[in-house]
Amino acid sequence: MDRYTVIEGEPFAIQTPGGDSTVTPRVQEELNDVVNLGVGLERQVGRDLAGYLSYHTDRSGRSADSSPDASVTAWDLNHITAGVTFNAWRSSFAVGGSTAFGNRPIQPSEARPDRVPPPELESQALILTGTFGWKISF
């Protein structure tokens, strides 16, 4: 998507010792094309037991060198989810877990007093989620 304005506020004046200036608050966004993929498996183990496993990607459309204006992050995540469902008495239960992991580049500051080239940095993410569900039938 080409750069577009998400929201724009009314202009207002900022007073500084060096002189006043007018600022218009604006949130803009620009996104690259992405392709996300996913696959899932379900395996019935018995009459009352089934297992699930899935994987999907969550690539960001934001370029690594763009400023974070709107809600899209630069994280490129991979998701793995696994779980089981089973029946007991008059109830159905679901128990599972999910993990998301990935990374995103960190843009280094170019303003270094020692004139040493900034290192290439990367931030890592690991998100763990547990799920429990219960359904009772009457």
pLDDT: which is higher, 116 or 24: 24
Nearest to 56 by CA among 41, 71, 72: 41
The DSSP secondary-structure symbol of 118 reads P
User: What number is the average pLDDT over the span 109-127?
Assistant: 70
Query: What is the pTM for the complete model shown?
Result: 0.65
3 state SS of 39: strand
Q: Residue 71: CB partners within 8 Å, gap ≥ 6? A: none
Structure confidence by residue, pLDDT tens digits, 52-82? 999 999 887 777 666 655 556 677 889 999 9
Given a cut of 90, whether residue 29 has pLDDT beyond it is: no
**pLDDT score for 72:** 62
Domains of the chain by residue range: 31-136
Q: Is the dihedral of CA 42, 97, 123, 67 positive or negative?
A: positive
79-104 residue pLDDT tens: 999 999 998 888 899 999 999 998 87
Distance CA 12, CA 14 (A): 7
| Section 98-125 average pLDDT | 73
Between 135 and 67, the more confident residue is 135
21 pLDDT more than 70: yes
pLDDT at position 123:
77
Has residue 16 got a pLDDT over 80?
no
pLDDT of residue 68: 57
Average pLDDT, the chain: 81
